[in-house]
Structure 1
Amino acid sequence: MSRKYSQELLDKIIERQGIVNIKGAEVLVKKLPDSDERGAMDPRLYKDMKKQIILMKFMPKSLLKMDISPKSIGKLRKMFCEIKSNPMVEKKIDIIHGTVKATDGYKIPVRIYKSETVKENAPILYYIHGGGFFGGSPDVVEELVKLIVEKTDILAISVDYRLCPENPYPTGHEDCYSVLKWIYDNTESLGGNKNNIFVAGDSAGGNLTQYCTTKDMEQGLGMVKGQLLLYPTLNMAKVEDEFFKWSRDEYEIAPKYKAGIEMILGMFEGLSGGLGEILGTTDIKNEYLSPYIREPKGLPPTFITVGEHDFLKVECLAYAAKLTKAGVETKTVLYKGLGHAYGDNVGVYPQSEDCAIEMGNFILRYSR
């Protein structure tokens, strides 16, 4: 079990990082550890994606649009459930499998992660995986969760919520919120601190994370101490304001990578454009599916991270600016040379490990 990169590359990311102001928000920019080329892809990512980029050149544009036929969903699920991380966690971490009862009686699978040196009365990370609401699984992000646990000795819990389209909105959202309430009600038996529960999620899981925080605020329960949003889906309705207007002009792309990056942006645009159909609703312009439109004042401390070439970058940085303007304590991390889903690549890309470190530091900083 080891990294596929050197410790030197990990150290270089920290050495070369710096803070910039984007639309009024402080953003910690993580440069490539071994390249100064503006708009370049990370060389490790480019090597992994080169074959895929070549194949995409010959794909008809119709295949880049969301198709919710069982055959199409099956293919996409297989792709979104691929485990890409390289095992690198050395500390012994016990994984306990259990279930939590949903509002309709369904037993929601959960996993509890405890290191051999877990803190007493530990902070809790509640992690919600991504996958476009129809794919993904806790397996895909398990190495990320384990790495955070290894580095912080906190508790972690992940959820295997029900997926669309078989389980239309708001089933998956309500599953995730049911598990949050269960965690809060059972912190003592879990060995955790109910005052230090942090909810996190990537991509669609970021949307589900914000849903949990929003519902907690609406019900006045005060369960969520902080939230961590990894390249989250926040503005499905693409509502424009002073901070957000999507444009390819927002992306700096080196000529060598132009064709590949633009194809990837186009693919995600096609996928995101069909999320309402996947979710089984025409009402994507609500404050749960498009939390960007909600007044953010009063949100707990929020961590946001996104890649330079992610289709969701524009809305993520706009959300950071909006939260900052509203007085929400916000930590924003932008990774140069990366696109979407780098949390799935622990042990493969140094930025993935760096992100885990940043997440752990954020949780420890805001724990009482």
Structure 2
Amino acid sequence: MTRKYDLTLLEKIQEKQENINLQGAKILVKNIPDCDEKGAMDPRLYKDMKVQMNVMRFMPKNMMKMDTSEKSVKNMRKQFNAIKSVPIVTKDITIMHQTMKAGDGFDIPIRIYNSSSKRENAPILYFIHGGGFMAGSPDVVEELVKLIVEKTNILAVSVDYRLAPENPFPTGHTDCYTTLKWIYENADKLGGDKNNIFVAGDSAGGNLTQYCTTKDMEEGRNLVKGQLLLYPTLNMCDFEDEFYSWSIDKYEIAPKYKKGLEKMLTIMHSMVGGMSEVLGTKEINSKYLSPYVDVSPDYPSTFITVGEHDFLMIECLAYAAKLTNRGVDTETVLYRGLGHAYGDNVGVYPQSEDLAIEMGNFILKHSGK
């Protein structure tokens, strides 16, 4: 299937990009390729979100709450598991499905992505999908993973970890970390470089990625060469410090979108604290679920990306600043006019393809390939 945009838009994104400094952090800003209005939504995103935003304009702020009832979880999974990307990868990418054992004997499904032109001793991308810890699947991000593999000729692995609320914390987190250790132990058999494993995840998957990095450091294994956090949830307890405090006034929103976007962002931000019920734990302020509260200067090189109109934008940029100020090598990409989960829109948004390029460049740069 062909892209739903002209490739000239991808070129425009790269031509119009600029660098800014935010609280000591260097931010690469990717402007909307075909719109110069400050605070505007990307026209492709606005087309998708227009109806939902109009509904939210008139919705009471207390109407949307975390609901872990069977019906609500089922509806959430139906929504989050929808495939929005279109297939644009043309290279032959083989996908091998298999399982590996969790500590409790559960068979964790994983997928291994191999290019027909894979590099010898290739770096390994280990991708962890998002979905609010209770939804999502490797299918949702598969085109993004395949596109990165196509553009870099590296090896990739994704995991279908157990979801909450049926499997409370730390089950899903432990599944992801167990898979990381399996990848390291089996890297040679897979044709990958065990010394160049890069862990990546989107949204809740970004939280799971940081968990893997933190546990790896605590156990002194040094398995993670770098981490890539895509609009990650990192501060579920809403911890404030010199880098972070949440306010709708920190968003630049053009008048046309202001009422709908402000309502949506405020509601979504208020729901983050409800993850305690979803995950079945009161440890929401621990460094494993809110890693923002306890940043180590020893983290590996870190890539962060977030959209200008994402409800997590403020904490993601604050995390980038905090990491930078702690001495962590950090690269941050901010996409103007986008919201959450744009990695799920490969072939639909030109920024999704640009993201794949940026991620691939980060991996190749830090693996020395």
State the TM bucket, normalised to the shorter chain. Answer: over 0.9
Structure 2 CA distance, aligned partners of 1:44 and 1:295? 36
- Distance apart, 1:65 and its partner CA: 1.1
Give the structure-2-normalised TM-score. Answer: 0.98
Letter of the structure 2 residue corresponding to residue 309 of structure 1: H
| 2:130 equivalent to 1:130 | yes
Structure 1 CA distance, aligned partners of 2:237 and 2:61? 22
- Distance apart, 1:156 and its partner CA: 0.3
- Structure 2 spans left out of the alignment, 5+ residues: none
Structure 2 CA distance, aligned partners of 1:284 and 1:3? 40
Aligned to 2:341: 341
Letter of the structure 1 residue corresponding to residue 306 of structure 2: V
Would the aligned equivalents of 2:155 and 2:192 in 1 still touch at CA under 8 Å?
yes
Letter of the structure 2 residue corresponding to residue 187 of structure 1: A
- Distance apart, 1:69 and its partner CA: 0.9
Aligned to 1:366: 366
Would the aligned equivalents of 1:226 and 1:302 in 2 still touch at CA under 8 Å?
yes
Aligned to 2:298: 298
Letter of the structure 1 residue corresponding to residue 184 of structure 2: Y
- Distance apart, 1:107 and its partner CA: 0.4
Q: Deviation string for 1:4-43 (max 9, x for gaps)?
A: 0011100000000010001110000001101111100001
- Distance apart, 1:77 and its partner CA: 1.0
Structure 1 CA distance, aligned partners of 2:346 and 2:174? 29
| 2:318 equivalent to 1:318 | yes
Aligned to 2:254: 254
Aligned to 1:88: 88
Aligned to 2:213: 213
Q: Deviation string for 1:199-219 (max 9, x for gaps)?
A: 000000000000000000001
Would the aligned equivalents of 1:237 and 1:284 in 2 still touch at CA under 8 Å?
yes
- Distance apart, 1:49 and its partner CA: 1.2
Aligned to 1:29: 29
Structure 2 CA distance, aligned partners of 1:167 and 1:9? 42
Question: 1:197-208, aligned counterparts within 5 Å?
Answer: 197-208=197-208
Structure 1 CA distance, aligned partners of 2:109 and 2:266? 34
Higher mean C-alpha displacement, 53-62 vs 250-259: 53-62
Question: 1:58-97, aligned counterparts within 5 Å?
Answer: 59=59, 61-97=61-97
Give the structure-1-normalised TM-score. Answer: 0.98
Letter of the structure 2 residue corresponding to residue 361 of structure 1: N
Structure 2 CA distance, aligned partners of 1:279 and 1:40? 35
Aligned to 1:39: 39
Letter of the structure 2 residue corresponding to residue 278 of structure 1: V
Structure 2 CA distance, aligned partners of 1:296 and 1:106? 32
| 2:18 equivalent to 1:9 | no
- The SS at the match of 1:64 is coil
Structure 2 CA distance, aligned partners of 1:239 and 1:59? 27
- Distance apart, 1:139 and its partner CA: 0.4
Aligned to 2:237: 237
Letter of the structure 1 residue corresponding to residue 137 of structure 2: S
- Distance apart, 1:60 and its partner CA: 5.2
Would the aligned equivalents of 2:238 and 2:273 in 1 still touch at CA under 8 Å?
no
Structure 1 CA distance, aligned partners of 2:354 and 2:65? 33
Question: 1:106-255, aligned counterparts within 5 Å?
Answer: 106-255=106-255
Would the aligned equivalents of 1:32 and 1:337 in 2 still touch at CA under 8 Å?
yes
Structure 1 CA distance, aligned partners of 2:125 and 2:271? 29
Q: Deviation string for 1:286-321 (max 9, x for gaps)?
A: 010000111320100000000001111111001101
- The SS at the match of 2:281 is coil
Letter of the structure 1 residue corresponding to residue 275 of structure 2: L
- Distance apart, 1:2 and its partner CA: 1.4
Structure 1 CA distance, aligned partners of 2:60 and 2:16? 40
- Distance apart, 1:68 and its partner CA: 1.0
Structure 2 CA distance, aligned partners of 1:135 and 1:216? 25
Q: Deviation string for 1:77-104 (max 9, x for gaps)?
A: 1111111001100001000001111010
Q: Deviation string for 1:222-270 (max 9, x for gaps)?
A: 1000000000000111111110001111100001001221232133124
Structure 1 CA distance, aligned partners of 2:215 and 2:283? 18
Would the aligned equivalents of 2:308 and 2:335 in 1 still touch at CA under 8 Å?
yes
Higher mean C-alpha displacement, 72-81 vs 207-216: 72-81
Would the aligned equivalents of 2:248 and 2:266 in 1 still touch at CA under 8 Å?
no
- Distance apart, 1:61 and its partner CA: 4.3
Structure 2 CA distance, aligned partners of 1:64 and 1:77? 16
- The SS at the match of 1:304 is strand
**Equivalent residue pairs, number:** 368
Higher mean C-alpha displacement, 140-149 vs 254-263: 254-263
Cα RMSD over matched residues?
Answer: 1.0
- Distance apart, 1:59 and its partner CA: 4.6
Aligned to 1:353: 353
Would the aligned equivalents of 1:296 and 1:322 in 2 still touch at CA under 8 Å?
no
